Structure 1
Amino acid sequence: EPLCLEKGVGVIPYFSLASGFLTGKYRSEKDLANRPRGEMVQKYLNERGFRILDALDQVASQYHSVPAVVSIAWLIARPGITAPIASATSLDQLTDLIEATNLALDPSSIELLNLASA
């Protein structure tokens, strides 16, 4: 992302919600059982992934929101991100995506998320 910023190239993240991991619905091996994206998400079940989920939960609580909304809002707030790509398979998920476009995270929330993901 820093190189893209320097060169004026936009970044369009394709798996903005990490195949659903950043929504918070996958928090253990048990959550992956019989899920279509289970194998794809398994790689995120590690110390870094759980640290990110903890930060997302904190920020979501602060904004009376959910991790999926905060995840997309966090990407939108990043100066190098042109447009995050995320899919919705239900009306609730679509509502979350729309809500994310209206959520302006404060600098301390962004810093918390950035540190958790570093």
Structure 2
Amino acid sequence: MSREHLRINRFGFAEYDDMADIVRETDLPAMAETLRQIVELVLAEDESGLVEAMTMEAQADFAVPLGMAAEMLRDDRNSDMELVAAACTVRYSAERHMDEFPKELATLLRRLPR
């Protein structure tokens, strides 16, 4: 796939030209629900200690973009491209830390597009 950068959207996620294919080929409501589940698992359940258990690198690489995605999900007016950009960024930022994450989280992350 091509990686030609198009723009940075209003939520801070990079959009690329090949994301248009993902928009057309993906069940967007299911992807949004998966992203919501990840946000809920990691950020909404502070008592789980999941973020605190992450290395500083994992927190910087993954928790920060996930927080940005949580903000995007709160906005009911996001576009399909904004949703895909957030999901792809969360997946990409988690890739190198998957072995650190609980199985449930890793499974949810693998459902997101690359």
**Larger Rg computed on CA atoms:** 1
Q: Which has the higher helix share?
A: 2
